[in-house]
Structure 1
């Protein structure tokens, strides 16, 4: 379990983390979300003792990280997969970590097999692809068979098979009673992986709730509607005349807001229009998250900014 209490970190006049309190519980995959600059990485670094809070505290299993007798056996972490000596082989990198925490060679072979790096175990780290380097970082996090996993953007560089693999791995780790704390900007994958969410913006807590509750509570909702092509125009005109908003949905049919499924069905029946699909839906995690954090985005891109930067480079 990870417990943060009034955790605060300032850099000069900037407050990166602002009186942040939360608990990451075992048996769940907990997603950690926030815009760039929200304080996610700083928070994770404080959990791992890499940054010292200005005030407040954070513990893992009831102890600060610095007081853990065998850190790798308690906490496995991945903050930056590139922080590996490029001249060492994959196996030697893991062996060095293992020996520092009295972990046997057999465990090194186990994690190499687990993450799919056995065939490149004697290859130097600098020769690994981005995805393979990410797998090496995950192998290091799993090395001590830890009670707690802290992973920052673990799917970076992974292909589709690799993303599914890490999703299943994290779910299995949580199912075994471990604490899994996961940061990612890939919302679609987070929605499939996480059971619980902690959302921050500008260093402050915005939400601490179960995934489904977060989406359903903050969702604009709507109804997926599919009709015969020859009746689509009449159906849309009818719905809009009764105050509905009709938009195309990525899943194929229309998405209708402003009317309930029952109201849509009754309108169609009254005008003898056929319906092939009428499915209530909630917003995606990405939609809900974007709406919630809009005012907390610190670094915002735009066409004008990009054009200005291009002109400056030309000069």
Structure 2
């Protein structure tokens, strides 16, 4: 378990992390989300003792990371997959870590097999693709067979098969009762992987809830309706307080009225329905809605009419 209480980090006048309090519990995948510059990486570095908090505290299984007797057996982390000597092979990189942390030699072969790098174990890592480097970083995190795992953007560079693999790996680790914290900008993947979410913006906690609760709280439920009597239904729904938008395919998108109410209105007026279905926003849409005021960098959309001179 990871616990933070009032965790704060300042760099001069800038507050990178502002009084964060949260708990990452075992048995579930916790997604750690936020726009660029929100403080996610700084928070993860403080959990691992790489940065000291200005105030507040964060503990791993009740202890500061620096106080752990065998840190690699308790916490495994992937923060930067490039943090490896390019002249070393995957095998010798892991062997060096195993020997310096009093881990059995056989564990090196085990994790190489888990991440699918056994066939290239003796090749120098400088020749690895981005995806292979990610797999080696994940193998490093798994080396001590820890009960707590932290991954920062673990799917970077992975192909679709690799993304599915890491998704299933994280779920299986959580199912074993381990604590899994994953930071990612890939919302569609988090929607399929995470059970719980911690969302921060400008260093502050703005959501601590399940994925379903997050989507429900930060998006409006819409109802999609198809009917040959579109004009009549639109009039009836509008009079009842709903808002109607025509879709390109001829369907109607109704908001501010529940699905059951739309169905009842259609029945009462004898409107024949070909489709009546709920539309729930995706995690990405809900995330964008909640964090739009916390985005630090806003890019302008270039005009196609502008000429370069």
TM-score (norm 2): 0.91
Aligned to 2:160: 160
The size of the alignment, in residue pairs, is: 308
Q: Which residue of 2 aligns with 1:15?
A: 15
Query: Equivalent residue for 2:274?
Result: 276
Q: What is residue 244 of structure 1 aligned with on the other side?
A: 243
Q: Which residue of 1 aligns with 2:181?
A: 181
| Contact 1:240–1:246 under 8 Å retained in 2 | no
Partner residue, 1:300: 298
Aligned to 2:287: 289
Q: CA deviation at 1:83?
A: 1.2
Match of 1:215 in 2: 215
Q: CA deviation at 1:131?
A: 1.0
Partner secondary structure for residue 76 of structure 1:
strand
**Residue 280 (structure 1) shift:** 2.5
The Cα shift of 1:63 comes to 1.0
Shift of 1:218: 2.7
After TM superposition, give the deviation of residue 130 of structure 1 in Å: 1.1
Residue matched to 2:255: 257
Change over 3 Å in CA distance of 1:77–1:223 after alignment to 2: same
Contact 2:219 2:289 (C-alpha < 8 Å) held by counterparts: no
- 2:189 is paired with a residue whose SS is helix
Deviates more, 1:104-113 or 1:178-187: 104-113
Deviation at 1:240, TM superposition (A): 5.4
Q: What secondary structure does 2:262 align onto?
A: helix
CA 1:256–1:148 in 2, change beyond 3 Å: closer, same or farther?
same
In the alignment, the residues of structure 2 paired with residue 66 and residue 247 of structure 1 have an alpha-carbon distance, to the nearest angstrom, of 59
Distance 1:236 1:195 in 2: 38
Please give the alpha-carbon distance, in whole angstroms, between the structure 2 residues aligned to 1:210 and 1:304: 37
Distance in 2 (alpha carbons) for counterparts of 1:244 and 1:161: 42
Deviation digits for residues 247-274 of structure 1 (CA, Å, limit 9, x no counterpart): 6499x96542122222322343355443
Q: Which runs of 5+ in 1 are unaligned?
A: none
Note closer, same or farther for the CA distance 1:60–1:253 as it changes in structure 2 (3 Å cut): farther
Cα distance change on mapping 1:157 and 1:231 into 2, 3 Å: farther
Deviation at 1:207, TM superposition (A): 1.3
Which is richer in helix? 1
Query: What CA distance in whole angstroms lies between the structure 1 residues aligned with 2:115 and 2:32?
Result: 23
Instruction: Pick closer, same or farther for the CA change 1:257–1:146 going to 2, 3 Å.
Output: same
Q: Is the 8 A contact 1:74 1:147 kept in 2?
A: yes
Residues 114, 287 of structure 1: alpha-carbon distance in 2 compared, 3 angstrom cutoff:
same
Asked whether the 8 Å contact 1:249–1:255 carries over to 2, the reply is no
Q: RMSD value over aligned CA atoms?
A: 2.6
Q: For 2:52, what is the secondary structure of its paired residue? A: coil
Offset of 1:290 from its aligned partner?
1.2
Report how far residue 27 of structure 1 moved: 0.8
Deviation at 1:221, TM superposition (A): 1.1
Partner secondary structure for residue 277 of structure 2 = strand
Once residues 168 and 306 of structure 1 are traced to their aligned partners in structure 2, the CA distance between those partners, rounded to angstroms, is 42
Distance 1:27 1:306, change over 3 A: farther
SS in 2 for 1:107: helix
TM-score (norm 1): 0.89
